[in-house]
Amino acid sequence: MNVCAGVDRNGGCELVQVDGEWQRAAAEALYHLPFAELMFRAQSVHRNNFDPNHVETASLLSVKTGGCPEDCGYCAQSAHYETGVKATRLMDCADVVAAAQRAKEAGATRFCMAAAWRSPKDRDLDRVCEMVIAVKDLGMETCVTLGMLTPKQATLLSEAGLDFYNHNVDTSPDFYRRIITTRTLQDRIDTLEHVREAGIKICCGGIIGMGERVEDRLDMLVLLANLREPPESVPINLWNEVKGVPVIDTAAAPDPIALVRLVATARIMMPHSVIRLSAGRHDMTDELHALCFLAGANSIFIGDVLLTTKNQKVDRDAKLLTKLGITSALA
Ligand code: SAM
Ligand code: DTB
Ligand code: SF4
């Protein structure tokens, strides 16, 4: 069945999903609408599905940093590149819980624990399950990102009460092969399937600003929107500069309006997903943040650091949200 997903500026039906699937042409037609039209549609979709005056606040902790065997060309934690990031062991559960408690007091409702692994060893997974149980006991939502999972590992995380698993597709199928060679996009999709099967909600998005074309960004949205069910959370990361990785040679910061257009297009294509402005916010102006929220972004990471790179300062976020009259657990 072909579905008209919108009306063009002359009143004709131009935006179609074919057999319920998003096509690049439909995503492009949305993305290139006159700005006011695109924003109006994104805001209408946003208001139908979310409180437009509320933003979710999540906090990140790197529970195991660096020394990763994968060769993701954007990442400070890959052992393939000299980035100056020191490899650490998996943190103790008590230290993780203390960090989660501080994040809760600082205004985060979700705590995301990240490990620089290709995939977790079973004994490490047991320790992460303990962390999930303990952080949930604080009354926070939990998210972990540990690399590829087997179905059994996904089930164990589900049994521990994990709310979200973050595993990004990162970019378009076409651009993917230029930035990662040690695991395929299909490997990632398989892990997302195992997570879904285990009943855990999915957090899945990607990075822009690595030298990809606008078409690649749209293909990434098409890939996400056409997953068996779209991810409940969609992080959009602006590439945070890391010296020593291959992406530094191709990177180009996206035009600000292109970012807003991408957020608005994601909002329309995935009406029920929370869209998180993730890495790269420290370089964004208040005005750009405001436009992204108007376009439908409704989640941010708070805290002065992400994993190995900096984030916008918490007091600047608090002031910004207050200025915009946006409610959150922060302001
Ligand atoms: N090792 C696990 C994996 O890759 O699935 C989890 C951690 S990994 C750091 C999580 C995500 O962070 C990546 O998929 C990527 O989207 C994002 N990321 C990593 N480095 C980044 C950077 N320099 N700028 C923006 N996002 C980045
Ligand atoms: C996601 O999409 N972004 C977060 C989270 N998922 C794990 C990570 C951003 C990392 C930015 C680079 C760094 O700090 O090392
Ligand atoms: Fe390892 Fe994840 Fe970084 Fe890739 S993105 S190098 S898998 S930590």
Q: What is the SS3 string spanning the chain?
A: CEEEEECCCCCCCCEEEECCECCHHHHHHHHCCCHHHHHHHHHHHHHHHCCCCECEEEEEEEEECCCECCCCCCCCCECCCCCCCCCCCCCCHHHHHHHHHHHHHHCCCEEEEEECCCCCCHHHHHHHHHHHHHHHHCCCEEEEECCCCCHHHHHHHHHCCCCEEECCCECCHHHHHHHCCCCCHHHHHHHHHHHHHCCCEEECCEEECCCCCHHHHHHHHHHHHCCCCCCCEEEEEECCCCCCCHHHHCCCCCCHHHHHHHHHHHHHHCCCCEEEECCCHHHCCHHHHHHHHHHCCCEEEECCECCCCECCCHHHHHHHHHHHCCECCCC
Q: Residue 144: its pLDDT value, please?
A: 98
Which of 68, 83, 112 has the most ligand 3 atoms within 8 A of CB, as the residue to mutate? 68
At residue 2, the pLDDT reads: 46
Ligand nearest to the CA of 61: 2
Active site residue 102: no
Residues near ligand 3 (Cβ within 6 A):
68, 70, 72, 75, 77-78, 116, 147
Q: What's the confidence (pLDDT) of residue 12?
A: 42
Instruction: Return the closest-CA partner of residue 146 out of 159, 134, 156.
Output: 156
Residue tagged active-site, from 41, 68, 261, 267? 68
Among candidate residues 281, 290, 221, 212, the one with its CA nearest the CA of residue 252: 212
From atom 19 of ligand 1, which residue's Cα is the shortest distance away?
75
pLDDT score for 19:
76
Q: What is the pLDDT of residue 10?
A: 36
Q: Which atom of ligand 3 is nearest to the CA of 115?
A: 8
Q: Supply the CATH classification number for the domain 53-324.
A: 3.20.20.70
Nearest ligand, measured from the Cα of 280: 1
Q: Is 203 a catalytic residue?
A: yes
pLDDT number for residue 9:
45
Q: Is 112 noted as a catalytic residue in this protein?
A: yes
pLDDT under 70: residue ranges of the chain? 1-16, 331
Q: Is 204 a catalytic residue?
A: no
Whole-number pLDDT of residue 1: 44
pLDDT of residue 11: 36
Query: Atom 20 of ligand 1 has which residue's CA nearest to it?
Result: 75
Residue 76 tokens, joined = 């400070």
The verdict on the CB of residue 31 being under 6 Å from ligand 1 is: no
Whole-number Å distance, alpha carbon 278 to ligand 3 midpoint, is 16
